[in-house]
Amino acid sequence: MEDYFESLEKGLEDIYKIAEEARKKGQDPYMKVEIAPARDMAARVEGLVGPINIASKIRELDRMNYSREKIALKIAEEITEKKFGNYTQEECAEQAIRTALAILTEGIVAAPLEGIAQVKIKENIDNTKFLSLYFAGPIRSAGGTAAALSILMGDHIRKKLSLDRYKPSDEEIERFIEEVDLYNRISHLQYYPSKKELKIALKNIPIEITGEPTEKVEISGYRDLERIETNRVRGGAMLALCEGLLQKGSKVLKYVENLKLDGWEWIREIALSSKEEEEFELENWKYLKDIIAGRPIFSHPSRRGGFRIRYGRSRNTGFAAWGIHPCTMLVLQDFLATGTQMKTERPGKANVVCPVDTIEGPIVRMKNGDVLRLEDYEETLKIRG
């Protein structure tokens, strides 16, 4: 195994040398290869968002068997204590939140750079200062859990910088509620929270969740508010709150308890309500709601004869990928091929199909009444005819 990894590293070095020689000919915008190789997650984080020398500290915490979330929290603390640079208070907050999010996403998505547009320190009506996170559309690439955790990290950073809570006005709360409804009509949220959930969250979240305008459409009520710079819909903020914090309420509650974060007791009410709703709703029809005419429906909700699910990951399935046995692909007349997009009842998200032959094959009933489990591709091809 070690020889295998060494051969990969040697091959990478050889490819970089060839690329560097090619760049020296001056036929590209830059004379050197822009993307530096990163040996591990710590190197990726430092290369992506910095600060300089943060990689060694991340490795040190990793050797102590800290979880990703705890590493992100500790690193954010040290950045706010100016151990990695003499920043202003606002710069401290921005660097800490970007680095924490990069750790949570293991330095492999664009969210830490492009998902957070900026971080500001603003004033409440009573002249106290609070932290404001400006989310942008690419926060979606972080995933719901990481987006939710970035809000938790923001609150922890706020406390370390001795900033007050965000104190929203009634108009700002109502503006956000209207905006969620409007965004859902335009772009369709995976999780559409109730007004009750939104009000509980917006009154209690200790930092401001805001963002850049991402849609051309404007809200009709609660316009021209002093602390909200735009009347257009802020898609990144909608995603961070709805598909992040509120959709992942149960996970957020666990992290709050594990990391011993104060001021988040209210999330329990949201976590419990979403869990009760999930348990009550045995059949989930949401995935069929936006079906386009002509697309096949392989199974109705919780119907016998539908797909079975097995949790795990093979070497050719990554984020948002589902493994399907090659024999299942044949049985379904090759409609599900590599790269086909599919939507499922649970968890209700879209995914991309990849062939995986290490899972169980399909159980099928033949026209003559025989029931078979198909495991061999060639045999299935003969049976299908």
Share of the chain above pLDDT 90, in %: 52
What would the mean pLDDT of 343-352 be, rounded to a whole number?
79
User: How high does pLDDT run on average in the chain?
Assistant: 89
- Checking if the pLDDT of 273 tops 90, the result is no
What would the mean pLDDT of 312-319 be, rounded to a whole number?
82
**In the structure, what pLDDT confidence band is assigned to residue 281 with cuts at 50, 70 and 90?**
low
pLDDT tens digits, one per residue of 144-177: 899 999 999 999 999 999 999 999 999 999 999 9
The pLDDT value given to residue 345: 81
pLDDT tens digits, one per residue of 8-50: 989 999 999 999 999 999 888 888 888 878 888 999 999 899 8
- Checking if the pLDDT of 178 tops 50, the result is yes
What is the distance between the terminal CA atoms of the chain, rounded to a whole angstrom?
42
pLDDT tens digits, one per residue of 225-260: 999 999 999 999 999 999 999 988 888 999 999 888
Whether the full predicted model's pTM is greater than 0.85, yes or no, is no
Measured distance CA(70)–CA(59) in Å, rounded: 13
CA angle 192, 244, 267 (to 5 degrees): 90
**In the structure, what pLDDT confidence band is assigned to residue 57 with cuts at 50, 70 and 90?**
very high
The pLDDT value given to residue 205: 95
**In the structure, what pLDDT confidence band is assigned to residue 278 with cuts at 50, 70 and 90?**
low
Could you give the C-alpha distances from 259 to 68, 123, 272, in angstroms and in order? Answer: 11, 28, 19
**In the structure, what pLDDT confidence band is assigned to residue 112 with cuts at 50, 70 and 90?**
very high
Q: Which amino acid is at 232?
A: R
- Alpha carbon 380 to its chain centroid, in Å, reads 38
- Checking if the pLDDT of 280 tops 50, the result is no
Measured distance CA(48)–CA(57) in Å, rounded: 16
The pLDDT value given to residue 218: 92
The pLDDT value given to residue 132: 96
59 contact partners, CB below 8 Å, separation of at least 6: 40, 42
Which residue, 131, 77, 70, 137, is CA-closest to 104?
A: 70
Measured distance CA(209)–CA(162) in Å, rounded: 19
The full set of domain ranges for the chain reads: 17-280, 286-385
